[in-house]
Amino acid sequence: MNNKKKLLLSSIAVIVLGLTGCQSSTMNITADDQTVVVPKAPKKVVVMNYGALDTLDALGKGSIVTAIPRSVTPSYLQQFNKASIVDTGNMKEPDTNAIKQTKPDLIIIDGRQASKTEDLSKIAPVINLSVDAKNYVASTKNHIQALAKITGTESKADNIIQALDKKIQSAQTLAQASAKKAIVAIHNDGKMILINSSSSAALIHDVLDVKRAVPVTVMPANNLIGKPKPIFVDDNYIKSVKPDIIFVVDRSKAIGNQGMAEHFFSQKVLNKSKTQVVYLTPDLWYLSGGGAESINRQIDEVTNALK
């Protein structure tokens, strides 16, 4: 090989190595109208969003999770409640020192930690994957795709989303064929309140097409605090509305407090109104949701009540 050819090949090698070295180790991720610069293929991720946690698990990337809020880990994610996973503390007041010690490449949060974004951003890039109740499925899919892009598992995400679409269509067909009308209520400290347009209600009514026993209307305003007055769901309310199903989300039980009383509703009233009480899994519906696994579990709980 003559000197000119050697020089040419050497020059090509230098250019190739230079191009390789210039490849960025970060990427832009857009989710819910936010664009965040995050590392490609992160090896250490702090996750304070259980929907994101179950999505990473479904994508086969649960091993990169180094810290979560362990004290209230949903039952279906107990595999992450172990000594090797650092506890980030209270969901609304994360332990920044504990998080910092894990030296994460990325931190994933939801609305509960939104006020701490600035502090957490000093540790690592932060992405907020809160579910949009008005666009529940689109938001969930967006989050699955975002996490797949970050972890390089796009093909798995495509399969998950295709299966989810089929499952939703099947659930919609079942709900549309059913004459059952439902309400969704949340239990908190001995009180039951109607939640007609929350993320839970949006999934049940707007996505899965379960008929509403109560139409979505503007709640009467409370002039003292400027917030909608709560509508309490009790025996009298059941007598008035006569829903076929009450889907109950027990917030108190989900966060480790006293759960809903066994005989909160009079059985006589339920029988006369022909109302069935469906107790949704508390930690799944209140603490999680909007993830690849959680949305599938939620759909199953709703469709089982319609069969």
Q: Which residue has the higher pLDDT, 31 or 299?
A: 299
Domains 21-155 and 178-306 share a fold: yes
- HEC per residue, the chain: CCHHHHHHHHHHHHHHHHHHHHCCCEEEEEECCEEEEEECCCCCEEECCHHHHHHHHHCCCHHHEEEECHHHCCHHHHHHCCCCCEECECCCCECHHHHHHCCCCEEEECHHHHHHHHHHHCCCCEEECCCCHHHHHHHHHHHHHHHHHHHCCHHHHHHHHHHHHHHHHHHHHHHHHCCCEEEEEEEECCEEEECCCCHHHHHHHHHCCCEECCCCCCCCEECCCCEECCCECCHHHHHHHCCCEEEEEEHHHHCCCCCCCCCCCCHHHHHHHCCEEEECCHHHHHHCCCCCCHHHHHHHHHHHHHC
Q: Which CATH superfamily is domain 21-155 in?
A: Nitrogenase molybdenum iron protein domain (3.40.50.1980)
Q: 113-117, 214-218, 285-289: lowest mean pLDDT where?
A: 214-218
Per-residue model confidence as pLDDT tens digits over 175-205 = 999 999 999 999 999 999 999 888 899 999 9
Tokens of 211: 């008929």
Q: How far apart are CA 86 and CA 68, in angstroms?
A: 6
Q: How far is CA 273 from CA 104, 233, 236, in A?
A: 54, 14, 11
CA angle 162, 176, 32 (to 5 degrees): 45
For the chain, what is the mean pLDDT?
A: 90
Q: How far apart are CA 120 and CA 102, in angstroms?
A: 13
Per-residue model confidence as pLDDT tens digits over 113-155 = 999 999 999 999 999 999 998 899 999 999 999 999 999 999 9
Q: Rounded mean pLDDT of 211-227?
A: 68
pLDDT at 277 over 50: yes
Domain topology for 178-306: Rossmann fold (3.40.50)
pLDDT of the residue at 216? 83
* Extents of the domains making up the chain: 21-155, 178-306
| Band of residue 225 on the pLDDT scale cut at 50, 70, 90 | low
Q: Rounded mean pLDDT of 253-279?
A: 96
Q: Rounded mean pLDDT of 209-232?
A: 74
For 107, phi and psi rounded to 5 degrees?
-125, 125
Q: Rounded mean pLDDT of 232-245?
A: 97
Per-residue model confidence as pLDDT tens digits over 92-111 = 999 999 999 999 999 999 99
Residue type, 31: A
Q: Rounded mean pLDDT of 70-81?
A: 95
pLDDT of the residue at 10? 42
pLDDT of the residue at 115? 94
pLDDT of the residue at 33? 77
Q: Percent of the chain at pLDDT above 70?
A: 88
Longest CA span, the chain: 99
245 with 301: CB under 8 angstroms?
Answer: no
| Band of residue 34 on the pLDDT scale cut at 50, 70, 90 | confident
pLDDT at 16 over 70: no
192 with 250: CB under 8 angstroms?
Answer: no
Q: Is the pTM of this model over 0.85?
A: yes
pLDDT of the residue at 31? 75
Q: Which residue has the higher pLDDT, 227 or 275?
A: 275
245 with 275: CB under 8 angstroms?
Answer: yes
Q: Rounded mean pLDDT of 254-267?
A: 94
Nearest to 241 by CA among 176, 281, 188, 196: 196
Q: Rounded mean pLDDT of 8-26?
A: 48
Q: Rounded mean pLDDT of 161-177?
A: 98
| Band of residue 292 on the pLDDT scale cut at 50, 70, 90 | very high
| Band of residue 23 on the pLDDT scale cut at 50, 70, 90 | low
